[in-house]
């Protein structure tokens, strides 16, 4: 993997004094290929897909279906009908939450490191429908406690859904999804994985995992913002009632009746983000070309090196397990120093972009009474030199704020 050559694909990184972008877990940077695809759509064939029959519309339909096929291959789904385009991960989770037909007393299980997008929908259903939402506490090192999960699972008469964050956006620790799915299925529960972080950093094989639903966003894997994917086993998707209905979800309608289109169209209401879909397809092709195994290896090296450097700073608390058990994210806090101040100072003084705060995992921070953390999220375009530079600058900032 030639990182220098890869960096040339990213407009922000080929500048004379490029930023050090360590916020890829929020949004990754986009390569020129994706930007070009968006520009090409808007300038060459900015038409509707799946509706009009003219030449431009036909091209849109074909490009959208090509992107759907790219997504299918990327996550190794069986059929492209199992790929539903959404706005983002959050919409995908909400679609499941509202379409699954959860009833009073139904049990949904999540981990204690869920992003708000996989926590609030269940909390709302607790209030509105009366479902039961159970949280699985993590082990002391913040990794998933499979035994605790199994225990909770066994204690329940029945469990309707296990909705889990595949890889945490807090510490990039990946849960043992295969075992969780196996146990859940044994109990008759469906499994929804939030793959927002995972998708850009390790290969996912939905069939091998046997996961029922997987959601992710385009903007975390070099794709445009505003586009996401819900994968669902076709049989399950067919059973779900659409969460949002309207244009392009029905085959026909009268004043009193309608007939929904088959999946995935019945879930894709209204005019779609064609540019986003096409851009996402390009992004996945781009990442595929680099290779997710190469990416994972490169990021692991960087994360381990990052942990070494951070370990040299006094009072440093790194959230989560050892670097070897984490992915590309390193969250840390130093008691007495505000994480936002660190982030702002790094931005102002050293052109380094990191995330600060509670990263939409407020619940985790609230439980532990921690104000927030600085989150460094790396990607395949980051380098060891950037990490060295970051280490030096962070020491300087900490010496000022400490």
Partner 1 sequence: MFCFLALIVFAIMGIFSASNRELAKEALACVFTRVTFRPCRTNFKDKTKAMLLGKLVTRSAVVAKFVNKNFELLSWAFFILSVVSTIWVAKGVYDYYLYGNCNGLNSSGFCVFDPKGLNSSVSSLNEKCYVKPPTEANVTLKNSNFSSFPVKNPQAKKKIIFIGCYLCDYTRAAYPQIKQLLKQNPDVSFTFAHFPVKAGSSYLSNYDYCTYKEDPKKFWNFNDLLFSSSKADLYDNPSYADKEAVKAGYNLDQLHACINSAATKTAVEAQQNEIIKTGIYGTPTIFIDGTPYIGPKPYRVYEHGLKPWFLF
- Compute the distance between CA of residue 234 and CA of residue 83 in angstroms, rounded to an integer: 9
- Binds partner 1 (CB under 8 A): choice among 234, 236, 338, 371: 338
Q: Which stretch binds partner 1 (CB under 8 A): 143-151, 165-173, 255-263, 333-341?
A: 333-341
Question: Which residues from 97-136 bind partner 1, rule CB under 8 A?
Answer: none
Task: Tell me the closest approach of the beta carbon of residue 340 to partner 1, in angstroms.
Answer: 6
Both tokens of residue 380? 């395949």
Task: Tell me the closest approach of the beta carbon of residue 401 to partner 1, in angstroms.
Answer: 6
Question: Which residue from 28, 190, 21 is spatially nearest to 109, judged by alpha carbons?
Answer: 190
Both tokens of residue 171? 């510490």
Nearer Cβ to partner 1, position 205 or 348?
348
Is residue 396 involved in binding partner 1 (CB under 8 A)?
Answer: yes
Q: Is the peptide bond preceding residue 264 cis, with omega within 30 degrees of 0?
A: yes
Task: Tell me the closest approach of the beta carbon of residue 372 to partner 1, in angstroms.
Answer: 11
- Compute the distance between CA of residue 110 and CA of residue 152 in angstroms, rounded to an integer: 11
- Binds partner 1 (CB under 8 A): choice among 269, 341, 353, 391: 341
In the chain, what is the greatest distance between 2 CA atoms, to the nearest angstrom? Answer: 70
Is residue 388 involved in binding partner 1 (CB under 8 A)?
Answer: no
Question: Which residues from 342-381 bind partner 1, rule CB under 8 A?
Answer: 342-350
- Compute the distance between CA of residue 261 and CA of residue 284 in angstroms, rounded to an integer: 27
Out of 26, 48, 222, 360, pick the active-site residue: 360
φ and ψ at residue 19, rounded to 5 degrees: -70, 155
C-alpha distances (whole Å) from 218 to each of 25, 167, 287, 308 are: 12, 16, 12, 31
Both tokens of residue 6? 């890869």
Is residue 400 involved in binding partner 1 (CB under 8 A)?
Answer: yes
Q: Which stretch binds partner 1 (CB under 8 A): 214-222, 261-269, 312-320, 394-402?
A: 394-402
Task: Tell me whether residue 360 is one of the annotated catalytic residues.
Answer: yes
Binding site for partner 1 (CB under 8 A): 338, 340-350, 396-397, 399-401
Q: List residues with catalytic annotation.
A: 360
């Amino acid at each position: 993997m030639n990182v220098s050559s890869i960096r040339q694909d990213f407009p922000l990184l080929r500048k004379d004094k490029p930023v050090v972008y360590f916020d890829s877990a929020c949004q990754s940077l986009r390569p020129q290929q994706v930007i070009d695809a968006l520009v090409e759509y808007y300038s060459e064939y900015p038409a509707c897909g799946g509706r009009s029959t003219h030449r431009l519309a036909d091209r849109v339909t074909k490009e959208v279906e090509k992107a759907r096929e790219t997504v299918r291959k990327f996550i190794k789904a069986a059929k492209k009908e199992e790929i539903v385009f959404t706005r983002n991960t959050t919409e995908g989770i909400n679609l499941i939450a509202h379409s699954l037909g959860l009833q009073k007393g139904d049990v949904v299980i999540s981990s204690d490191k869920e992003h708000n997008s996989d926590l609030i929908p269940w909390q709302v259903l607790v209030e509105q429908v009366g479902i039961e939402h159970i949280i699985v506490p993590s082990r002391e090192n913040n990794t998933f406690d499979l035994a605790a999960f199994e225990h909770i699972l066994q204690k329940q008469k029945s469990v309707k859904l296990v909705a889990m964050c595949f890889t945490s956006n807090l510490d990039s620790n990946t849960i043992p999804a295969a075992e969780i799915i196996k146990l859940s299925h044994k109990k008759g529960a469906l499994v929804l994985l939030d793959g927002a972080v995972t998708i850009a950093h390790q290969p996912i094989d939905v069939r091998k995992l046997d996961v029922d639903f997987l959601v992710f966003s385009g903007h975390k894997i070099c794709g445009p913002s505003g586009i996401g994917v819900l994968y669902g086993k076709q049989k399950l998707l067919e059973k779900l009632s659409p969460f949002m209905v309207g244009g392009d979800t029905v085959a026909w309608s009268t004043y009193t009746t309608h007939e929904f289109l088959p999946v995935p169209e019945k879930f894709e209401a209204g005019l779609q983000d064609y540019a986003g879909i096409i851009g996402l397809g390009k992004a996945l092709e781009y990442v595929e070309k680099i290779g997710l195994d190469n990416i994972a290896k490169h990021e692991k090296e960087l994360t381990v090196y990052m942990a070494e450097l951070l370990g040299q700073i006094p009072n440093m608390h790194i959230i989560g397990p050892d670097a070897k058990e984490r992915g590309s994210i390193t969250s840390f806090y130093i008691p007495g120093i505000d994480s936002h101040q660190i982030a702002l100072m790094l931005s102002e003084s050293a052109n380094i972009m990191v995330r600060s705060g509670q990263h939409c995992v407020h619940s985790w921070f609230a439980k532990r009474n921690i104000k927030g953390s600085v989150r460094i999220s790396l990607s395949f375009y980051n380098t060891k030199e950037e990490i060295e530079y970051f280490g030096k600058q962070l020491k300087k900032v900490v010496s000022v704020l400490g």
